[in-house]
Amino acid sequence: MKICVLPGDGIGPEITAEAVRVLNALDLKFEMEEALLGGCAVDATGNPYPEATQKLAQAADAVLLGAVGGPKWDSYPREQRPERGLLGIRKQLGLFANLRPAILYPELANASTLKPEVVAGLDILIVRELTGDIYFGQPRGIEMRDVDGKHQRFGFNTMHYTESEIRRILRVAFDAAKKRNKRVCSVDKMNVLECTQLWRDVAIEVGAEYPDVELSHMLVDNAAMQLVKNPKQFDVMVTGNMFGDILSDEASMLTGSIGMLPSASLDENNKGLYEPSHGSAPDIAGKGVANPLATILSAAMMLRYTFNQEAVAQRIEGAVKKVLAQGFRTGDIYESGMKRVGTREMGDAVLAVL
């Protein structure tokens, strides 16, 4: 079990260190190697995704990433920006499936802007296709054209999916649902977009391979409304790149706790990149106050999806629930009466439960 650890920038090194401590406390043998990605890599080598990092990431079974970026690099030329490193590694590793859970622990129900009865106990998983759709389809561009009797600027993008692209992301969603509450909601816009009619047709075909999982379909505009109105109706939601971009951000904000949300991006063989959903938080970097739980929960996802260690993943998730129940809170989730702790102490609390 080879893990490439990429702490990155800002709070990245602080939160990754806690996830590494948790992994090292398990009865499993990992080979871990650290490398540079993002701004720190630009500083050291001029390249946000240096060749040494590429070698390690390609040879590993899984990548654990903190976060990249910060104001220092905002004025750098595009090819030396930290985000370039992220795009580069996602593309090189062929990560087509993005899994983003939105979980609201009962202890944190007040962190949401929605009423506690609407969101308390929320546990949904958004599965977003990451390498196709209108974001990458050709042709695309802005050019001068004669349209409606006028020589004018014309902007265009192309939405397309092959049936094999749709099938492989649907299978990820159904496989995930099998380990959860066995319901998949496939989101499309088949009433307007032919491309997503194909999406729905293929979803039905794949659904037939999974008789023990219930499949439903929803139009994306309705899905956006239902996520706010009654989010607990969902178990796994699966959708294309663009709809998934929007719905996964909407779902994550139902919880109000950015420091608690993990993510996974998988390739065809369940090799994966695991990272918190938040960024490098330059405003609190180096202060030892960042919440490490999103990164620790990302490590749990790594055990579930890449290493097939469901029981160990649940042990980690159970330990996180327990420390919340014990009252431990970093600043981002603090409420009066609770025990305010820093990054390292939160890691200590999880280790103590484990």
| Shortest spacing between CB 249 and Mg ion, in angstroms | 5
33 or 249, CB closer to Mg ion?
A: 249
Give the contact letters, 198-227, x = binds to ligand NAI (CB under 6 A), - = no.
------------------------------
Our finding on whether 83 is near Mg ion (CB under 5 A) is no
Stretch that binds Mg ion, among 5-13, 86-94, 243-251, 334-342 (CB under 5 A): 243-251
179 is in an annotated binding site: no
| Shortest spacing between CB 98 and Mg ion, in angstroms | 10
SS (H, E, C) the chain: CEEEEEEECCCHHHHHHHHHHHHHCCCCCCEEEECCCCHHHHHHHCCCCCHHHHHHHHHCCEEEEEECCCHHHCCCCHHHCHHHHHHHHHHHCCCCEEEEEEECCHHHHHHCCCCHHHHCCCEEEEEEECCCHHHCCCCCEEEEEEECCEEEEEEECCCCCCHHHHHHHHHHHHHHHHCCCCEEEEEECCCCCHHHHHHHHHHHHHHCCCCCCEEEEEEHHHHHHHHHHCHHHCCEEEECHHHHHHHHHHHHHCCCCHHHCEEEEECCCCCEEEEECCCCCHHHCCCCCCCCHHHHHHHHHHHHHCCCCHHHHHHHHHHHHHHHHCCEECHHHCCCCCEECCHHHHHHHHHHHC
| Shortest spacing between CB 246 and Mg ion, in angstroms | 7
283 is in an annotated binding site: yes
Query: Do residues 21 and 347 lie in contact, with contact meaning Cβ atoms separated by under 8 Å?
Result: yes
233 or 286, CB closer to ligand NAI?
A: 286
Identified catalytic residue from 2, 55, 221, 339: 221
- The DSSP bridge partners found for residue 319 are none
Stretch that binds Mg ion, among 136-144, 218-226, 240-248, 266-274 (CB under 5 A): 240-248
| Shortest spacing between CB 251 and ligand NAI, in angstroms | 16
Cα 263 to Cα 245, 252, 256, 259, 293: the distances in Å are 13, 11, 16, 12, 12
| Shortest spacing between CB 258 and ligand NAI, in angstroms | 5
Site for ligand NAI in 318-347 (CB under 6 A): 330, 332
Identified catalytic residue from 9, 133, 188, 189: 189
Active site residue 249: yes
137 or 282, CB closer to ligand NAI?
A: 282
Q: Using the rule CB under 5 A, which residue among 245, 267, 345, 348 binds Mg ion?
A: 245
Residue 279 touches which of Mg ion, ligand NAI, none (Cβ within 5-8 Å per kind):
ligand NAI
Site for ligand NAI in 75-104 (CB under 6 A): 86
Our finding on whether 278 is near ligand NAI (CB under 6 A) is yes
Q: Using the rule CB under 6 A, which residue among 50, 259, 272, 347 binds ligand NAI?
A: 259
Site residues, Mg ion (CB under 5 A) = 245, 249
Annotated binding site: 70-83, 90, 100, 128, 221, 245, 249, 279-291
Site residues, ligand NAI (CB under 6 A) = 11, 15, 67-70, 86, 258-259, 275, 278-284, 290-291, 294, 330, 332
